[in-house]
């Protein structure tokens, strides 16, 4: 699993209003810092599609039919996530809240088969970008996010919160980024509710048990189901 370095923005003498807006903003640089291998190499069997930037989705934007979700005017959720469901990948796993160690590195879930939700960021379904990471596994031995690269636009991701509510997200985009970089807006605590899933991908170095890239899946909020 990619572990994440988090550096809190220095708020210094910001005004109270501005401080409130950026209180939880973090600069997230995704880096490799684990004690065993991670990720399924997709460099050979899943080449980049043609398109703008590093997007893995090609051609014209998909016209995705949104599900019929009726969402009343509810306050933002506050209960932490407890389960992650990705129906198209047959993923149904527990979610652990994880923080950071003294070095500012995002901790791994105690159970390697579970997903890790960054508890310093938004709850899935609340304003901002909720971040969940997961192991992809060894080459040929996929774990929870081992088939994340096969997601397509419009695929459903459901995050079940501890209060039993189910927050629905629809896949929008998928990109690969180099180790040590992060997509814009990662873990921001403001803006429309959204979800980012992160795992390892790219070339697997069997000598160092490391991967060259990170796979980032971004999904937009579709309501409570």
- Give the per-residue SS3 of the chain: CCEEEEEECCCCCCCHHHHHHHCCCEEEEEECCCCCCCCCCCCCCCCCCCCCCCECCCCCCCCCCCCCCCCCCCCCCCCCEEEEEEHHHCEEEEEEEECECCCCEECCCCCCCCEEEECCCCCECECCEEEEECCCEECCEECCCCCHHHCCCCCEEEEEECCCCEEEEEEEEEEEEECCCCCCCCCCCCCCCEEEEEEEEEEEECCCCEEEEEEEEEEEEEEEC
Check: CB of residue 108 under 8 Å from CB of residue 96.
Answer: no
Domain assignment present for residue 198? The answer is yes
- Give the CATH number of the domain where residue 129 resides: 2.40.260.10
Q: Residue 165: pLDDT above 60?
A: yes
**151-170: average pLDDT:** 98
Has residue 29 been placed in a domain? Answer: no
- Quick check: 192 pLDDT over 80? yes
pLDDT of residue 143: 93
pLDDT one-digit tens code per residue, 94-111: 999 998 788 766 788 999
In degrees and rounded to multiples of 5, residue 200 shows phi and psi of: -90, 155
pLDDT in tens, 32-81: 233 223 434 333 333 323 233 344 443 333 333 445 454 557 799 999 99
pTM as predicted:
0.74
Q: Give domain status of residue 25, yes or no.
A: no
Token representation of residue 107: 């901790």
Asked whether residue 166 is assigned to any structural domain, the reply reads yes
What average pLDDT is seen over the chain?
75
Share above pLDDT 70 across residues of the chain, in percent, rounded to a whole number: 67
Tell me whether residue 176 is in a domain. yes
Tell me whether residue 87 is in a domain: yes
- Full domain range(s) for residue 130: 3-9+39-56+69-224
Confidence of residue 216 (pLDDT cuts 50, 70, 90): very high
15 within a domain of the structure (yes/no): no
Total count of domains within the chain: 1
Tell me whether residue 157 is in a domain: yes
């Amino acid at each position: 699993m990619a572990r994440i370095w988090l550096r809190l923005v220095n708020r210094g003498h910001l005004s109270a209003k501005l401080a409130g807006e950026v209180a939880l903003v973090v600069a997230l640089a995704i880096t490799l810092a684990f004690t065993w291998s991670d990720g399924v190499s997709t460099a050979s069997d899943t080449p980049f599609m043609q398109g703008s930037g590093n997007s893995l989705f090609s051609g014209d934007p998909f016209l995705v039919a949104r599900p019929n979700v009726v969402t009343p005017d509810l306050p933002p959720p506050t209960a932490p996530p407890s389960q992650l469901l990705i129906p198209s990948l047959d993923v149904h796993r527990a979610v652990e809240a994880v923080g950071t160690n003294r070095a500012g590195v995002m901790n791994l879930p105690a159970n390697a088969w579970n997903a890790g939700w960054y508890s310093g960021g938004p709850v899935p379904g609340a304003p901002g970008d909720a971040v969940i990471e997961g192991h992809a596994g060894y080459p040929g031995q996929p774990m929870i996010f081992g088939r994340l690269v096969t997601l397509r636009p419009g695929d459903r991701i459901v995050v079940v919160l501890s209060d039993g509510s189910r927050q629905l997200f629809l896949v929008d985009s998928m990109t690969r980024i180099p180790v040590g970089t992060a997509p814009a807006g990662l873990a921001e605590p403001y803006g429309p509710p959204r979800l980012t899933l992160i795992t390892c991908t790219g070339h697997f170095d069997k000598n160092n048990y490391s991967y060259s890239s990170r796979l980032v899946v971004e999904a937009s909020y579709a309501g409570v189901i």
